[in-house]
Homo-oligomer: A and B are copies of this chain.
Amino acid sequence: MKYCFGVDIGGTTIKMGLFEEDGKIADKWEITTDTSEEGKSILPNTAASIEKKIEEHGLDKNDIAGIGVGVPAPVTSEGVVNGTANLGWSYKEVKRELEEMTGLKTVVGNDANVAALGEMWKGGGEGEKNMIMITLGTGVGGGVIIDGKMLVGENGAGGEIGHLCVNYEETDCCGCGNRGCVEQYASATGIVRLAKQKLGQDMRPTILNKEDVTAKDVFDAVKAGDEAAKDIAAVFGRYLGYGLANLAVIADPAVFVIGGGVSKAGEVLIPYIREPYMERAFFANKNVRFVLAKLGNDAGICGAAKLILDNE
Protein backbone atom coordinates (compact mmCIF):
# COMPACT_ATOMS: atom_id res chain seq x y z
CA MET A 1 0.00 0.00 0.00
CA LYS A 2 1.31 3.38 -1.04
CA TYR A 3 0.53 6.62 0.76
CA CYS A 4 0.90 10.30 0.03
CA PHE A 5 0.30 13.61 1.75
CA GLY A 6 -1.92 16.41 0.47
CA VAL A 7 -1.20 19.86 1.91
CA ASP A 8 -3.35 22.97 1.40
CA ILE A 9 -1.55 26.06 2.68
CA GLY A 10 -3.91 28.94 3.42
CA GLY A 11 -3.49 32.32 5.08
CA THR A 12 -5.05 31.10 8.35
CA THR A 13 -4.63 27.32 8.49
CA ILE A 14 -2.61 24.63 6.77
CA LYS A 15 -4.90 21.69 6.02
CA MET A 16 -3.27 18.31 5.62
CA GLY A 17 -4.34 14.81 4.70
CA LEU A 18 -2.74 11.38 4.59
CA PHE A 19 -4.10 9.54 1.56
CA GLU A 20 -4.04 5.97 0.37
CA GLU A 21 -3.31 5.76 -3.34
CA ASP A 22 -6.94 4.95 -4.22
CA GLY A 23 -7.92 8.31 -2.73
CA LYS A 24 -9.11 7.16 0.66
CA ILE A 25 -8.30 9.71 3.38
CA ALA A 26 -6.49 7.82 6.18
CA ASP A 27 -6.06 10.91 8.35
CA LYS A 28 -6.91 14.59 8.18
CA TRP A 29 -5.76 17.45 10.39
CA GLU A 30 -4.74 21.09 10.33
CA ILE A 31 -2.24 23.44 11.91
CA THR A 32 -2.23 27.22 12.24
CA THR A 33 -0.38 29.19 9.56
CA ASP A 34 2.38 31.19 11.21
CA THR A 35 2.79 34.15 8.86
CA SER A 36 5.15 36.04 11.19
CA GLU A 37 8.68 36.94 10.03
CA GLU A 38 7.78 36.66 6.33
CA GLY A 39 6.23 33.24 6.87
CA LYS A 40 9.58 31.61 7.52
CA SER A 41 8.09 28.92 9.79
CA ILE A 42 5.37 27.79 7.38
CA LEU A 43 7.36 25.10 5.58
CA PRO A 44 9.31 23.88 8.66
CA ASN A 45 6.02 23.57 10.59
CA THR A 46 4.48 21.66 7.68
CA ALA A 47 7.46 19.31 7.44
CA ALA A 48 7.45 18.69 11.21
CA SER A 49 3.73 17.93 11.19
CA ILE A 50 4.21 15.42 8.37
CA GLU A 51 7.13 13.75 10.13
CA LYS A 52 5.02 13.42 13.26
CA LYS A 53 2.18 11.76 11.31
CA ILE A 54 4.59 9.34 9.64
CA GLU A 55 5.76 8.27 13.09
CA GLU A 56 2.22 8.18 14.52
CA HIS A 57 1.02 5.87 11.72
CA GLY A 58 4.22 3.81 11.76
CA LEU A 59 4.81 4.42 8.05
CA ASP A 60 7.94 3.61 6.07
CA LYS A 61 9.09 6.55 3.91
CA ASN A 62 9.63 4.12 1.05
CA ASP A 63 5.88 3.57 0.98
CA ILE A 64 5.16 7.31 0.63
CA ALA A 65 4.83 8.63 -2.93
CA GLY A 66 5.47 12.17 -1.74
CA ILE A 67 3.81 15.45 -0.81
CA GLY A 68 1.45 17.46 -2.96
CA VAL A 69 1.07 21.11 -1.97
CA GLY A 70 -1.38 23.85 -2.87
CA VAL A 71 -0.27 27.45 -2.32
CA PRO A 72 -2.34 30.67 -2.57
CA ALA A 73 -0.10 32.21 -5.26
CA PRO A 74 1.07 31.62 -8.81
CA VAL A 75 3.53 28.69 -8.80
CA THR A 76 5.94 27.89 -11.63
CA SER A 77 6.25 24.35 -12.94
CA GLU A 78 9.50 24.13 -10.94
CA GLY A 79 7.59 24.68 -7.70
CA VAL A 80 8.75 28.26 -7.14
CA VAL A 81 6.58 31.08 -5.76
CA ASN A 82 7.48 34.67 -6.59
CA GLY A 83 5.28 36.41 -4.05
CA THR A 84 2.12 35.83 -2.04
CA ALA A 85 -0.62 38.12 -0.77
CA ASN A 86 -1.32 36.22 2.46
CA LEU A 87 1.66 34.15 3.56
CA GLY A 88 4.41 36.72 3.88
CA TRP A 89 6.61 34.97 1.32
CA SER A 90 8.33 36.80 -1.48
CA TYR A 91 10.58 34.43 -3.52
CA LYS A 92 10.23 30.89 -2.17
CA GLU A 93 11.47 27.58 -3.56
CA VAL A 94 8.66 25.57 -2.01
CA LYS A 95 9.41 22.29 -3.75
CA ARG A 96 13.15 22.31 -3.04
CA GLU A 97 12.79 23.37 0.61
CA LEU A 98 10.13 20.79 1.49
CA GLU A 99 12.04 18.04 -0.31
CA GLU A 100 15.19 18.90 1.64
CA MET A 101 13.34 19.00 4.94
CA THR A 102 11.40 15.75 4.52
CA GLY A 103 13.38 13.70 2.01
CA LEU A 104 10.06 13.17 0.20
CA LYS A 105 9.33 14.12 -3.41
CA THR A 106 7.20 17.26 -3.48
CA VAL A 107 5.02 18.78 -6.21
CA VAL A 108 3.54 22.25 -5.78
CA GLY A 109 0.61 23.96 -7.51
CA ASN A 110 -1.59 27.01 -7.21
CA ASP A 111 -4.35 26.36 -4.66
CA ALA A 112 -7.22 27.08 -7.06
CA ASN A 113 -5.74 24.78 -9.72
CA VAL A 114 -5.10 22.11 -7.11
CA ALA A 115 -8.67 22.35 -5.78
CA ALA A 116 -9.90 21.89 -9.37
CA LEU A 117 -7.80 18.74 -9.65
CA GLY A 118 -9.38 17.51 -6.41
CA GLU A 119 -12.91 18.11 -7.69
CA MET A 120 -12.00 16.24 -10.88
CA TRP A 121 -10.64 13.31 -8.93
CA LYS A 122 -13.31 12.81 -6.29
CA GLY A 123 -15.85 15.66 -6.58
CA GLY A 124 -18.18 17.42 -9.01
CA GLY A 125 -15.97 16.72 -12.01
CA GLU A 126 -15.41 13.04 -11.29
CA GLY A 127 -14.93 10.99 -14.43
CA GLU A 128 -14.08 14.00 -16.61
CA LYS A 129 -10.69 15.05 -17.90
CA ASN A 130 -11.60 18.47 -19.31
CA MET A 131 -13.16 20.57 -16.58
CA ILE A 132 -13.06 24.04 -15.14
CA MET A 133 -13.60 24.86 -11.52
CA ILE A 134 -14.76 28.34 -10.59
CA THR A 135 -14.33 29.31 -6.95
CA LEU A 136 -16.72 32.10 -5.96
CA GLY A 137 -15.26 33.39 -2.71
CA THR A 138 -14.01 36.77 -1.53
CA GLY A 139 -12.53 36.88 -5.02
CA VAL A 140 -13.13 34.64 -8.01
CA GLY A 141 -10.52 31.96 -8.57
CA GLY A 142 -10.38 29.15 -10.96
CA GLY A 143 -8.66 26.07 -12.14
CA VAL A 144 -8.60 24.81 -15.70
CA ILE A 145 -8.00 21.08 -16.19
CA ILE A 146 -7.10 20.04 -19.73
CA ASP A 147 -6.82 16.35 -20.52
CA GLY A 148 -6.48 15.61 -16.80
CA LYS A 149 -3.71 18.14 -16.12
CA MET A 150 -3.75 21.58 -14.53
CA LEU A 151 -3.21 24.48 -16.90
CA VAL A 152 -0.28 26.20 -15.19
CA GLY A 153 0.99 28.58 -17.87
CA GLU A 154 4.24 30.44 -18.34
CA ASN A 155 4.06 32.45 -15.10
CA GLY A 156 1.95 30.04 -13.08
CA ALA A 157 -0.93 32.43 -13.72
CA GLY A 158 -3.10 30.21 -15.94
CA GLY A 159 -6.83 30.02 -15.29
CA GLU A 160 -7.22 33.45 -13.67
CA ILE A 161 -10.92 33.30 -14.46
CA GLY A 162 -11.81 36.16 -12.12
CA HIS A 163 -9.96 38.59 -14.34
CA LEU A 164 -11.62 37.85 -17.67
CA CYS A 165 -13.10 41.13 -18.87
CA VAL A 166 -16.84 40.80 -19.41
CA ASN A 167 -17.94 44.41 -19.40
CA TYR A 168 -15.94 46.91 -21.43
CA GLU A 169 -18.25 49.73 -20.27
CA GLU A 170 -17.52 49.25 -16.54
CA THR A 171 -16.22 52.39 -14.80
CA ASP A 172 -15.44 50.87 -11.36
CA CYS A 173 -11.98 49.40 -10.84
CA CYS A 174 -11.27 45.77 -9.98
CA GLY A 175 -8.65 44.98 -7.32
CA CYS A 176 -6.30 44.04 -10.17
CA GLY A 177 -6.45 47.55 -11.62
CA ASN A 178 -8.55 46.66 -14.67
CA ARG A 179 -12.25 47.38 -15.22
CA GLY A 180 -15.03 44.90 -15.99
CA CYS A 181 -13.48 41.71 -14.51
CA VAL A 182 -15.73 38.72 -13.67
CA GLU A 183 -14.65 39.15 -10.03
CA GLN A 184 -16.41 42.53 -9.87
CA TYR A 185 -19.77 40.79 -10.37
CA ALA A 186 -19.42 37.19 -9.25
CA SER A 187 -17.34 37.23 -6.04
CA ALA A 188 -19.02 37.60 -2.65
CA THR A 189 -17.62 41.14 -2.58
CA GLY A 190 -18.85 41.76 -6.12
CA ILE A 191 -22.37 40.58 -5.29
CA VAL A 192 -22.48 42.98 -2.33
CA ARG A 193 -21.34 45.77 -4.67
CA LEU A 194 -24.13 44.93 -7.14
CA ALA A 195 -26.66 44.74 -4.30
CA LYS A 196 -25.72 48.17 -2.96
CA GLN A 197 -25.98 49.67 -6.44
CA LYS A 198 -29.35 48.06 -7.01
CA LEU A 199 -30.84 48.76 -3.59
CA GLY A 200 -29.77 52.39 -3.82
CA GLN A 201 -31.96 52.86 -6.90
CA ASP A 202 -34.75 50.32 -6.50
CA MET A 203 -37.93 51.62 -4.90
CA ARG A 204 -39.70 48.23 -4.67
CA PRO A 205 -40.13 46.62 -1.26
CA THR A 206 -37.41 44.05 -0.52
CA ILE A 207 -36.51 41.85 2.41
CA LEU A 208 -32.84 42.77 1.91
CA ASN A 209 -31.24 45.12 4.42
CA LYS A 210 -29.92 47.98 2.35
CA GLU A 211 -27.25 48.94 4.85
CA ASP A 212 -25.64 45.60 5.58
CA VAL A 213 -26.23 43.04 2.86
CA THR A 214 -24.16 39.90 2.17
CA ALA A 215 -23.96 37.56 -0.83
CA LYS A 216 -25.73 34.93 1.28
CA ASP A 217 -28.55 37.38 2.05
CA VAL A 218 -29.03 37.97 -1.68
CA PHE A 219 -29.45 34.29 -2.53
CA ASP A 220 -31.59 33.62 0.57
CA ALA A 221 -33.85 36.43 -0.65
CA VAL A 222 -33.87 34.93 -4.17
CA LYS A 223 -35.11 31.66 -2.65
CA ALA A 224 -37.78 33.61 -0.78
CA GLY A 225 -38.98 35.10 -4.11
CA ASP A 226 -37.67 38.64 -3.56
CA GLU A 227 -37.76 40.47 -6.91
CA ALA A 228 -34.93 42.92 -6.18
CA ALA A 229 -32.70 40.02 -5.14
CA LYS A 230 -33.58 38.16 -8.35
CA ASP A 231 -32.47 41.19 -10.36
CA ILE A 232 -29.14 41.23 -8.52
CA ALA A 233 -28.69 37.50 -9.14
CA ALA A 234 -29.41 38.08 -12.82
CA VAL A 235 -26.57 40.61 -13.12
CA PHE A 236 -24.25 38.26 -11.20
CA GLY A 237 -25.21 35.39 -13.51
CA ARG A 238 -25.04 37.40 -16.71
CA TYR A 239 -21.44 38.43 -16.27
CA LEU A 240 -20.32 35.09 -14.88
CA GLY A 241 -22.12 33.30 -17.73
CA TYR A 242 -20.54 35.60 -20.32
CA GLY A 243 -17.13 34.94 -18.81
CA LEU A 244 -17.65 31.19 -18.87
CA ALA A 245 -18.71 31.36 -22.53
CA ASN A 246 -15.38 33.01 -23.38
CA LEU A 247 -13.57 30.51 -21.24
CA ALA A 248 -15.25 27.59 -22.99
CA VAL A 249 -14.35 28.83 -26.47
CA ILE A 250 -10.70 28.54 -25.41
CA ALA A 251 -10.68 25.50 -23.13
CA ASP A 252 -13.66 23.45 -24.43
CA PRO A 253 -14.55 21.78 -21.12
CA ALA A 254 -17.03 18.95 -20.46
CA VAL A 255 -18.14 20.45 -17.18
CA PHE A 256 -18.03 23.60 -15.08
CA VAL A 257 -17.76 22.94 -11.34
CA ILE A 258 -18.95 25.88 -9.22
CA GLY A 259 -17.42 26.09 -5.76
CA GLY A 260 -16.45 28.56 -3.05
CA GLY A 261 -18.52 30.24 -0.35
CA VAL A 262 -21.06 31.76 -2.74
CA SER A 263 -21.83 28.28 -4.14
CA LYS A 264 -23.29 27.26 -0.78
CA ALA A 265 -26.46 28.96 -2.04
CA GLY A 266 -26.89 25.70 -3.97
CA GLU A 267 -28.69 24.74 -7.16
CA VAL A 268 -30.55 28.07 -7.28
CA LEU A 269 -27.36 29.59 -8.74
CA ILE A 270 -27.11 27.36 -11.77
CA PRO A 271 -29.93 28.68 -13.98
CA TYR A 272 -28.77 32.25 -13.36
CA ILE A 273 -25.37 31.30 -14.80
CA ARG A 274 -26.43 28.80 -17.45
CA GLU A 275 -28.96 30.99 -19.26
CA PRO A 276 -26.59 33.86 -20.19
CA TYR A 277 -23.91 31.25 -20.86
CA MET A 278 -26.13 29.57 -23.45
CA GLU A 279 -26.98 32.94 -24.97
CA ARG A 280 -23.29 33.63 -25.66
CA ALA A 281 -21.67 30.17 -25.98
CA PHE A 282 -20.03 29.02 -29.21
CA PHE A 283 -22.11 26.23 -30.76
CA ALA A 284 -19.47 23.57 -30.02
CA ASN A 285 -19.61 24.42 -26.29
CA LYS A 286 -23.37 24.36 -25.70
CA ASN A 287 -23.51 20.85 -24.22
CA VAL A 288 -21.28 21.63 -21.24
CA ARG A 289 -22.66 20.65 -17.82
CA PHE A 290 -22.86 22.92 -14.77
CA VAL A 291 -22.49 21.25 -11.38
CA LEU A 292 -21.77 22.32 -7.82
CA ALA A 293 -18.48 21.43 -6.15
CA LYS A 294 -18.76 18.53 -3.75
CA LEU A 295 -15.61 18.42 -1.63
CA GLY A 296 -15.89 21.75 0.18
CA ASN A 297 -12.76 22.42 2.24
CA ASP A 298 -11.29 19.00 1.32
CA ALA A 299 -10.85 19.91 -2.36
CA GLY A 300 -7.41 21.38 -1.67
CA ILE A 301 -5.89 18.41 0.16
CA CYS A 302 -7.48 15.94 -2.28
CA GLY A 303 -6.14 17.80 -5.32
CA ALA A 304 -2.72 18.11 -3.70
CA ALA A 305 -2.66 14.35 -3.15
CA LYS A 306 -3.71 13.77 -6.76
CA LEU A 307 -0.96 16.12 -7.92
CA ILE A 308 1.75 13.99 -6.34
CA LEU A 309 0.13 10.68 -7.37
CA ASP A 310 0.00 11.89 -11.02
CA ASN A 311 3.70 12.75 -10.83
CA GLU A 312 4.88 9.42 -9.50
Contacts and interface: CB of A to CB of B under 8 A. Distances in A.
A203 interface: no
A149 B154 CA distance: 13
A150 B137 CA distance: 31
A166 to B, nearest CB: 8
A72 interface: no
B157 A242 contact: no
A147 B152 contact: yes
Contacts of A167: 168
Contacts of A151: 146, 151, 250-252
Classify chain A's interface size: 35 or more
A283 B85 CA distance: 14
A74 B251 contact: no
A251 B146 CA distance: 11
A49 interface: no
A177 interface: yes
A161 B250 contact: yes
25 contacts: A77-B147, A128-B154, A130-B154, A146-B151, A146-B158, A147-B152, A151-B251, A153-B251, A154-B253, A155-B284, A155-B287, A157-B252, A160-B249, A160-B282, A164-B246, A165-B246, A165-B280, A166-B168, A167-B168, A169-B169, A177-B283, A178-B280, A178-B282, A247-B250, A250-B250
The 3 closest A-B pairs by CB, nearest first: A153-B252, A157-B284, A130-B154
Given A77-B147, A157-B282, A158-B250, 6 more contacts: A154-B252, A154-B253, A154-B254, A155-B287, A164-B250, A165-B280
